[in-house]
Structure 1
Amino acid sequence: MNRVFAEVQQLCKDIVSTTLTLFKVMIPMIILVEIADKLGGVELLSELLEPLMSVLGLPSSMALVWATTMLTNLYAGMLVLVNTDVALSVAQVTVLGSLLLVCHGLPIEGMISKRAGVPMWTTLAVRIGGGLLFAWLQAIYYAHTEQSQELAQILWSNDTAGYANYYEWTLGQIENLFAIFCVISALIVMLRLLKLFRIEHLMSLLMVPFLKVLRVSREAANLAVIGITLGLSYGGGLIINESQKGRLTKHDAVITVLLLNLVHSVFEDTALIMLLGADLNMILWARIVFSIVTMTVISQVYLTVVTQKSATASQ
């Protein structure tokens, strides 16, 4: 009985801690976005990034959603999305969601990658370039097949355009934040259940054979699985620790960290984007395949460059 109580107590602490950490970033961002909107910043940013959005088949207003997500996290970007009065199809939500899944939290996660031995510019190039490529390929697929054109059912739909004053606007934002708290609580409970029933362990066993094509050690592959399932912060932290102890080669560390930049936290992040009505096959399985194929190419190029440098140095 005491053990159950301790587990519940720890679960509550994790929920509160995670929520407070996110709200410290999100609440100032909500205010800044509102100010930017009133000053015309939203329109300006949308115009600057409109060419990229149109290439992906998305409304120009989605540029602010992407920019917010890149600088902060998925939760903040999703909050901006539900505050826009734009109807999106399943295909559009899937394309946007795929872009957000790869390109989010760049300042923080870029610093984690840097500590693991990957330069910031490399991380940004892989994530922004990879995110745009992944989303663009999906946009081409949907345009060619004309599938998933029905209206997406967004769980957090909220019409903020009807707010008459800032009192109503504030109440609306509080409702959204409470909804996020509920979602976070459900996700953390789900993660606990996945661990309890060892579903994460099963996924790890299934992923290891695919990671071997990256030509990394089994230890690096195991760390990659942790990052893929639990998040870049977990996997990246372990990679940093193992690298400092000399248990990972530079190649292992670089390739594994770059892989995690493309695909990580597949349970939580995928569940979040599913709340927007996205296609699960695209944002989960297609993302994993895309990430592994992309990193296989990068790994081969990396090995070729390193080999050439070693040959030149030995002459």
Structure 2
Amino acid sequence: MTVAQITVLCSAMLIAHALPIELSVSKKAGASLIPIGLLRLLGAVIYGMILHHLSLFFGFWQEKATVYFKAADTSQTPVEWVLDQLQNIALIVLIIFCILIVMRVLRAIGLLTLLEKILSPVLPVFGMGHNAAPVTVVGMVMGLGYGGAMIIRETARGKMGREELFYSMVMMGLCHGLVEDTLLMVAIGGKITGVFWGRILFSLFVVYCIVQCGRVFSGRRVRTET
């Protein structure tokens, strides 16, 4: 596989993974399950296609990728197969452990907090008010589990409207776990340009389009009623 292929695969997985669990979080928060599920599936396909065609057109990431997790050889004995799988599992555990350590270090030195502060002023442009923006940033940085739990709490308190709740869950659905998920995908060969920066820009663009369409529709409905 080429670096481009691995980056496309990693990016698609980051957008549309663990759907049963994460969509249940969205449902508990009060967001519509089917639209968010469809947006994530379509988003994964569309973003993957964009990365694929851009990499082919400009000729980048075409070198052979270094794959750290090898597939089992069909000629292996059962014992050799078990040993190979144990080696792969040990490597995965080591990578995840290192990511957790990095997460703690980044949080301790304030880099995650800085990222949250940078993103918070931007999100209101994308239909999220001052109540939704901070928790959305937490979900984007730390993961949908963290952000979703905070969204559920804010919704229960009546501090978030239905529209900004939907926009927030769409944003977190398309772009969450920016630190640990990104580090994991980079560790297996994905390019940070695609799995991190590109994913953020794509998610912001999608949410912006949805917000603008919603405003146009609302404006037409108001004019029709009057």
User: Does structure 1 residue 290 correspond to structure 2 residue 202?
Assistant: yes
User: Does structure 1 residue 249 correspond to structure 2 residue 161?
Assistant: yes
Counterpart contact for 2:7–2:191, Cα < 8 Å: yes
Deviations 1:234-292 (A, max 9, x none): 00111011011101111111100110000001111111110122221121111101100
Distance 1:114 1:307 in 2: 27
Residue 32 of structure 2 corresponds to which residue in structure 1? 119
Q: CA deviation at 1:135?
A: 0.8
Distance 2:83 2:220 in 1: 61
Residue 31 of structure 1 corresponds to which residue in structure 2? none
Residue 131 of structure 2 corresponds to which residue in structure 1? 219
Counterpart contact for 1:163–1:169, Cα < 8 Å: no
Structure 2: give runs of 5+ residues left out of the alignment: none
Identical-residue share of aligned pairs (%): 28
Q: CA deviation at 1:108?
A: 0.4
Residue 275 of structure 1 corresponds to which residue in structure 2? 187
Change (3 A) 1:166 1:203: same
Deviations 1:25-62 (A, max 9, x none): xxxxxxxxxxxxxxxxxxxxxxxxxxxxxxxxxxxxxx
Q: How does 1:3-152 map to 2 (within 5 A)?
A: 88-152=1-65
Counterpart contact for 2:3–2:63, Cα < 8 Å: yes
Q: CA deviation at 1:90?
A: 1.0
Distance 1:106 1:308 in 2: 34
Q: CA deviation at 1:308?
A: 4.9
2:173 aligned residue (255, 261, 278): 261
Deviations 1:156-180 (A, max 9, x none): 2324024523332222222222222
TM-score relative to the length of structure 2 = 0.93
Change (3 A) 1:149 1:272: same
Aligned residue pairs total 226
Residue 236 of structure 1 corresponds to which residue in structure 2? 148
User: Does structure 1 residue 301 correspond to structure 2 residue 213?
Assistant: yes
Structure 1: give runs of 5+ residues left out of the alignment: 1-87
Stretch deviating more after TM superposition (89-98 or 254-263): 89-98
TM-score relative to the length of structure 1 = 0.68
2:118 aligned residue (188, 206, 218): 206
Distance 2:73 2:90 in 1: 20
Ranked by relative contact order (alpha carbons within 8 Å, sequence separation 6 or more), the top structure is: 2
